[in-house]
Amino acid sequence: MSEFINNVSRRKETLKEALRQIHAGKPYEEVKQTFAEILQQASAGEIAEIEQALIAEGLPVEDIQYLCDVHVAMFRESLDQQTPPQMMPGHPVYTFNAENELAALQLNQCRQLLGQAQDNPKAETLAQLAAALQKLAEFDCHYERKENLLFPFLEKYGFSGPSSVMWGIHDDIRKAWKSMRKQLQDAGADPSAALAAVSEKFIPMENAMREMFYKEEHILFPNALERLNASDWRAIHAQEPDFGFAFVVRGAQWPPDEQPVEIETAIGDAIINKEKQERMNEMNEFPLTTGDLTLSQINLMLTHLPVDITFVDENDIVRYFSETPTRIFKRTPAIIGRKVQNCHPPASVHKVVEIVEDFRAGKRDSAEFWIQMNGMFIHIQYFAMRDVSGNYRGTLEVSQEISALRKLEGEKRLLDD
């Protein structure tokens, strides 16, 4: 098989065949032995591209997610030989890796406290374990930054495989966090049974998190550094505070300072251009169905509505979201230009696809949901947008927190205090 090692295209096809055999049920050790020589040559980029190619060929994302750890195990010898890139404090990759190191320590503490609680299942030890698991769940902002910042930028370069597979694993970990905390909260008079349930969830959750640390360091981040340019990383860096950081304070050494003259020039140009654009927005009026408005007025109206708005065009591309003062669901500029299918977890994306396809086919004009989240009662509506000829032009999502509205009774006149 050595004739394939220096032929990248043929090597990828051979590696794909190895994964296909795994998915078909062939014993892992047998496949690894057959393809041992070529497996040692696989790079992080090839592994990610192969999984993405298998998805494109129709292999369900759920199947790849289920066997993701097997894939990594097959290539681990090759990946261990590759030196992870070193970044400066403040670079998004450096921050991601620092969070992983501290999350590993938090996992160690949770495992230790779980053992102590099993040996001494009293209220105090259960409370300590619950607090440690609550602390661990703060790591969710790490996953949110991946899903809402890093993944969209990778998708712009046609690299969407990690978005589908990793997001599903994130959601499995989130479910385990929630379930374990609920078990401890409801322990009541039978703490031993609660601890047994927690232990059953903890082991696969811990394995999933630690495997994700490895996949990020050896596959995701090297691929991201290879594809994204300095401007992309700066854009990610600028939007990271919207989601926060887990266990760390972001470093300040990156991005490196520019020359003072260049900064001054850039800032000056930006101010001039912004002022010019604002003047143009104020001057130019656009004729609407029932009036004329400037761009500034339109923008002010959209940002002052008591609802969150997101617009997806007829090609399923996210084109706009309103930046209201208190958004319910986080949005960042990184999602503009992203396929709406990539903006939702794998477990629920099929519902979004069904709604959009029904809108496109004219089977329905709206869809309505309501959920309870973090003490809020959220009303979500989707509307099909059609032009005067009835052609589908996109989908409008409107979300509103309506807890206060649901409590209204009687009436209040306009001039009442």
Can you give the CATH number for the domain in which 328 is found?
3.30.450.20
Is residue 113 a contact partner of residue 128, using CB atoms and an 8 Å limit? yes
Residue 343: DSSP 8-state: G
Return the amino acid letter for 381: Q
Last residue of a domain, one of 58, 80, 102: 80
Strand 392-401 with 308-313, pairing: antiparallel
Asked if the structure places residue 250 within a domain, the reply is no
Tell me, what CATH number does 145's domain have? Answer: 1.20.120.520
Report if residue 231 sits inside a domain: yes
Domain extent, residue 7, equals 2-80
Please report the pLDDT score of residue 5 as a whole number.
Answer: 41
Tens place of pLDDT per residue across the chain (417 aa): 444 444 556 666 766 676 677 667 677 566 656 555 555 565 656 666 666 666 677 666 665 555 455 556 655 665 566 666 678 899 999 999 999 999 999 999 999 999 999 998 888 889 999 999 999 999 999 999 999 999 999 998 888 767 777 898 999 999 999 999 999 998 887 888 899 999 999 999 999 999 899 889 888 998 899 899 999 999 999 999 999 999 999 998 999 865 443 434 444 455 446 566 666 667 778 888 889 998 889 989 999 999 999 999 999 999 999 988 888 888 888 899 999 988 888 778 889 999 999 999 999 999 999 999 888 999 999 999 999 999 999 999 999 999 999 999 998 887 666
User: 213 with 327, same domain?
Assistant: no
Contact 103, 209 (CB under 8 A): yes
Q: Residue 146, SS3? A: helix
91 neighbors 256 (Cβ within 8 angstroms): no
Residue 412: helix, strand or coil by DSSP? coil
Q: Is residue 72 part of a domain?
A: yes
Q: Residue 169 and residue 228: Cα distance in Å, rounded? A: 24
In a shared domain, residues 47 and 112: no
Strand partners, 372: 377
Residue 241 Cα distances to 188, 245, 249, angstroms = 39, 7, 11
Question: 144 and 28: one domain?
Answer: no
Residues 33 and 114 in one domain: no
Q: How many domains does the chain have?
A: 3
Do residue 64 and residue 161 come from a single domain?
Answer: no
Q: Domain boundary residue among 53, 80, 107?
A: 80
Tell whether 115 and 222 lie within a shared domain: yes
Q: Which candidate, 75, 55, 76, places its Cα nearest to that of 65?
A: 55
Residues 99 and 232 in one domain: yes
pLDDT of residue 354: 94
Q: Which of 49, 80, 111 is the last residue of a domain?
A: 80
Instruction: Dig out the tokens for 33 from the structure.
Output: 């032995």
Q: Is residue 262 one of the residues assigned to a domain?
A: no
312 alpha carbon, distance to own chain's centre = 18
Please report the pLDDT score of residue 271 as a whole number.
47
- The one-letter code for the residue type at 42 is A
* Rounded CA separation 312/295 (Å): 20
Q: Are residues 197 and 141 located together in one domain of the fold?
A: yes
Contact at 8 Å (CB) between 13 and 49?
A: no
CA dist 391 and 387 (Å) reads 5
The pLDDT score that the predictor gives to residue 273 is 62
Distances (CA, A) of 334 to 140, 190, 324, 350, 402: 19, 47, 17, 22, 28
What is the reported pLDDT for 329? Answer: 86
Instruction: Please tell me whether residues 140 and 237 are part of one structural domain.
Output: yes
127 and 105 in a common domain: yes
Residue 200 CA to residue 252 CA, distance in Å, equals 41
Give the contacts of 88 (CB within 8 A, at least 6 positions apart).
94, 251, 253, 254, 256
Question: Is residue 2 within 8 Å of residue 40, measured between CB atoms?
Answer: no
**270 inside domain:** no
Contacts of 299 (CB under 8 A, 6+ apart): 281
Considering the domain boundaries, does residue 52 fall inside one?
A: yes
Quote the pLDDT of residue 190.
85
Q: Do 57 and 109 sit in the same domain of this protein?
A: no
- Give CA angle at 290 (358, 381), nearest 5°: 30
Residues 110, 61 share a domain: no
Residue 247 is assigned to a structural domain of this protein: no
The answer as to whether 172 is a domain residue is: yes
